[in-house]
Amino acid sequence: MFNILKENISSRSFFILQARFKTKTHWAKLRKKTGPKYKALNHFDDFYGSVFGEQWPPMKEALLRKSKYVAVINNYGDEEETMKYLSNRGAHCLRDLMKIQQTFSNEYTPETESDVQSKSHTSIIDNYISRLQNDEVSGVYPQSNNVPEKIDLSNNIDKIIENKKDKEMVANRTLDEALDNAEIDQSRIIEPSMGINSEVLYQYIPATKLKGLDDWVPESLHYSYYNSKDKDFPLIIEPETEFSFPEHLKVYTYEMNSDWSMFPEPKRSQTGVFNYYPMDCSSVVAVLALCLSPGDRLLDLCSAPGGKALVALQTLLPDVVVCNDVSISRSNRTEAVFRDYLIDFGNNKWRERVVLSRVDGRNFTDDQGFDKVLVDVPCTTDRHSVNEDENNIFRPDRVKERLRIPELQTQLLVNALKLVRVGGAVVYSTCSLSPVQNDGVLHAALKHAFETYQIVAVVKDLSSPLRSLSSTLQLASGAAKPRYGQLVLPSTAANFGPAYIARLVRVK
């Protein structure tokens, strides 16, 4: 009996030791690494690794660190005292830094599409329309010189009558008869034998990972397809000449590689509002790109939580700012921000200047039109996605929402172009590094706006004026630089962004 018990104990001890040393990592830690933020990081490693190459690892390192921000001084608080306080802590006025770094020059050489800029807006669009018409004609008629001068329909009357009888017979068929005679379209059936690199797998819809029977295609492969489609539509790119830093906008920041990367908590002023608003510097750049003028009517189409609209109000330039967001909870956050930073927000004075709206940005309408429209679209929010599981776009229950992001962004930008007046400007921005969500959406939206609504907009190249920010943040250059907008890259020296900013001016 003792021997049997001894054997059982021995065997059980051996079993426990086996289970204990089966893996060096605790099961709880393994489970955590399958969360949304780890999925996002794996996704970005695959996608951005193929887009940015060796530039991606340092950008990734910066994304995983705490972000940096600037302080937007509140003109309705103790502004002079606040600026003095921050200066004593080593912060610098952003406008002064930009003046020092200013490299504006009359000799401006565009970096891309110089051949397009040498032509007028009308000639570029006319050439595109002519090419479309020629393509349409060549699709109707055979590619030969035997195009009939006159079409004789007398020989086709019998065929028309016969076809009409055939259609009536088809309409009277039962479902089973119709199925027996149906022609099955097999062109969209995806076979596993085609391989993971087959273009057939990703030629229909954009996706992070598109499943075709037993194969998966990563987004890096899809990007190579997306980047080459719809490039026949010509974009007009011109240098930006109206950019200036608003006189009443006061922004304080620390220089690159500075140890003073964090500001203290903002405090209430004597008027009851907070003295400054902490935010990402790239968000300030998006407002600067609007090139606001006195008396402007401004629309912030996707406004919440209201930081960019607040910066626009701090310029003291727009007469009316319409802040729209479809989410009730996010709109409430915008209102809370305004109450914290604008004296007596809610009285008649502010109701005339600041309008809060809760409409889907794709369906927003307005009879008066706007001088400037800011459309900071929903996106993959790259920094949040790799650091937080809560409300992460890479959660399993948000897959469809994530795959539809480029479509949603395109629809929002098209509506923004419809809402802005001729001569007015639209600023499109994201907080993503994705070329699909950035240049890709901008190109698709401009093409759709022209072909559907005959809207023509010019892309304004901000490269020259934004060089003056070289001592504050890092802008993409070389192979990483977008074709149409500006890309703020996260870096350990100046950990702002990521952000994409593009300025469009409607000319027709």
Residue of 131, 489, 430 whose CA lies nearest to 308: 430
- d(CA 81, CA 263) in angstroms, rounded, equals 15
The Cα-based distances of 484 to 47, 113, 441, 442 in angstroms read 20, 10, 11, 8
User: Are the beta carbons of 297 and 368 closer than 8 angstroms?
Assistant: yes
Q: Which residues contact 422 (CB under 8 A, 6 or more apart)?
A: 506, 507, 508
CB 466 within 8 A of CB 475: yes
Helices (H), 256-380: 281-288, 307-314, 328-341, 348-353
d(CA 299, CA 129) in angstroms, rounded, equals 31
The percent of the chain in helix, strand and coil, each rounded to the nearest 5, is 45, 15, 40
Collapsing DSSP to helix, strand or coil, 354 comes out as strand
Report the alpha-carbon angle 291-446-294, nearest 5: 20
Catalytic status, residue 431: yes
Beta strands in 227-379 (DSSP E): 236-239, 251-253, 276-279, 297-300, 320-324, 354-357, 370-376
* Angle between helix 281-288 and helix 307-314 axes, rounded to 10 deg: 60
Residue of 291, 302, 379, 431 with catalytic role:
431
Query: How far lies 226's CA from each of 97, 186, 210, 437, in Å?
Result: 39, 24, 14, 11
Structure tokens at 109: 């050489």
Distance, CA of 74 to CA of 251 (rounded, Å): 9
Longest dimension (CA), the chain: 110
Three-state SS for 205?
A: coil
Dig out the tokens for 395 from the structure. Answer: 């959660």
**Within 10 Å of residue 335's Cβ, how many Cβ atoms?**
17
Paired residues of 356 in beta bridges: 323
Q: Which residue, among 293, 495, 278, has the nearest Cα to 383 in the 3D structure? A: 495
Residues acting as catalytic residues: 431
